[in-house]
A and B are shown apart, each in its own frame.
Chain A
């Protein structure tokens, strides 16, 4: 079983739509959680950390559900520039390793 699993998509949405991605993780001892964004053929870049209480950054909201072992990313009022692959990342507290999901592809259409 993979450490981190994501729906690969693609999610095809119109501009202005609200879209949500989920990501599940297998290790209940995981301590830190992140969403990264990766544009085609580019390096992953940190989008936001995910806190236990949930957090919001502009149009982006991230939530953590420890009981069900998943994190989510909600994007409101989608822009064309939001088109990218979104990577879920989980940090293993015991070994300080980062585990990356294979990514969810988002296409925002005009």
Chain B
């Protein structure tokens, strides 16, 4: 089983729909992150959480919200999806001094 699991792996939806991307981890890490990746722009941080009661905005949080339901779960929501949110989304986990471990990614297309 994967240490960091993202669902769904692929999603195609329409503009204006609400979308939720789920992430769960079995590594026992306190810190969880959501990134999006676009061609030529690398990974950009959307939101991050250092524990269940801690939520922080990343560099591109507009249009997104998150929920840290438990230490092992961190979900990302698009309240009203728009086409420029089409991207590859990654969840990652880590501890304070450790590198990050990534999920397999969610490929999201918004028409």
- A-side interface size class: 20 to 34
- Chain B binding surface, main DSSP class: strand
What is the 8 Å Cβ interface bit string for chain A, positions 19-59, against chain B (1 contact, 0 not)?
00000000000001010100001111110010000000000
Pick out which of these stretches binds chain B: A10-18, A66-74, A76-84, A95-103: A95-103
Binding site for B on A (CB under 8 A): 4, 8, 32, 34, 36, 41-46, 49, 87, 89, 96-98, 100-103
Known A-B contacts: A42-B104, A46-B101, A98-B45. Give 20 more (CB < 8 A): A4-B42, A36-B99, A41-B88, A43-B102, A43-B103, A43-B105, A44-B43, A45-B102, A46-B100, A49-B99, A87-B42, A96-B31, A96-B50, A96-B96, A97-B45, A97-B48, A98-B94, A100-B44, A101-B42, A102-B42
